[in-house]
Amino acid sequence: MLLAVDIGNTNIAFGLYRGEALVQTFRSETVRARTADEYGVFLRQMLALRGFEAGAVSASIIASVVPPLTDVMVDAIRQAFAREALVVGPGLKTGISILYENPRDVGADRVVNAVAAFERFHTGVIVVDFGTATTFDCISPKAEYLGGVIVPGIQVSLDGLLARAAKLSRIEIAVPPRVVGRNTTHALQSGIVHGYASLVDGVVEKLISELGFECHVIGTGGLAGLMAPHTRCLSEVDDTLTLYGLRILHERNAIQRRK
């Protein structure tokens, strides 16, 4: 089975694939101080809890936007499963053209999402990823990664506000009963949910106008499911899109690696 690992700034997502089927997922907080030994133990324990032996993992692929953790995770997988992980980076066969001014500047997660989205729809696509940053990635009908937009993520924005406003307290990110908040908690929740929904709709509208072609718009990331019902533009949500893209990338590069 294939172990797909998506290392983000806030969380690490793991997916276990048997062929094309995603059979298990689990998550961990991104802890930069954790060692390879500790991540290795964590991985073996998570698999054991789900009824899998360590020997079930026959291959692995990693996408990381946290450089200090990339080699740590490679070592952890080597120790836990005696496998060498494929790392998403320059030189990997993606199946799409990266038209960024400097392709090395594109985050691995954004490339993986672009691969996954185009593989699924084979048309113009905008991927909206609600992560530590909220990113908008544009892929043309010719399988070209064109670039996109990066804005501070929902939790990051809320944390920044709370750090600077002495009278505001931490709240749960949730949908308030109405847009007009009648207490401070509901007012903050309305701003976060409806404010970001309007931001997403506005940015996507401008992107489509500039791109000049029809786009399928898909949401992913931890808060996509919460936000999607309050947007006009998101036609689909898939919180495992990055893991799917990692599986596709592994398939495209595994034969080449064995040669």
Radius of gyration from C-alpha coordinates of the chain: 19
Q: Which residue, chain included where needed, has tokens 């509901």?
A: 186
Q: Express each pLDDT in 78-105 by its tens digit.
A: 999 999 999 999 889 999 999 999 999 9
Label residue 69 exposed, middle or buried (CB < 10 Å: 0-12, 13-18, 19+). Answer: buried
Residues in the chain: 259
> What is the structure's pLDDT at 91?
86
Domains and CATH numbers, the chain: 2-87 (3.30.420.40), 97-239 (3.30.420.40)
| Residue 51 tokens, joined | 């009824």
> What is the structure's pLDDT at 217?
97
> What is the structure's pLDDT at 222?
87
Contact 3, 60 (CB under 8 A): yes
% helix, strand, coil for the chain, step of 5? 45, 25, 30
Return the bridge partners of 236, or none: 218
Give CA–CA dist 231/154, Å, rounded: 15
Contact 84, 78 (CB under 8 A): yes
Q: Express each pLDDT in 18-77 by its tens digit.
A: 999 999 999 999 999 999 999 999 999 999 999 999 899 999 999 999 999 999 999 999
- Active-site amino acid positions: 109
Classify 74 in phi/psi space as left (phi over 0), alpha (psi -120 to 50) or beta: alpha
Asked if the model's pLDDT at residue 258 lies above 70, the reply is no
Average of pLDDT values for 106-123? 96
Band the pLDDT of 259: cuts 50, 70, 90.
very low
Residue 244's H or E segment, with its range, is helix 241-258
Read off the pTM. Answer: 0.92
Give CA–CA dist 190/188, Å, rounded: 5
* pLDDT greater at residue 4 or residue 170: 4
Average of pLDDT values for 160-178? 92
> What is the structure's pLDDT at 193?
96
Q: Which residue, chain included where needed, has tokens 């692929």?
A: 61
Least confident segment among 3-7, 51-55, 184-188:
51-55
Q: Express each pLDDT in 200-248 by its tens digit.
A: 999 999 999 999 999 999 999 989 999 999 999 998 999 999 999 999 9
Give CA–CA dist 204/196, Å, rounded: 12
Contact 248, 241 (CB under 8 A): no
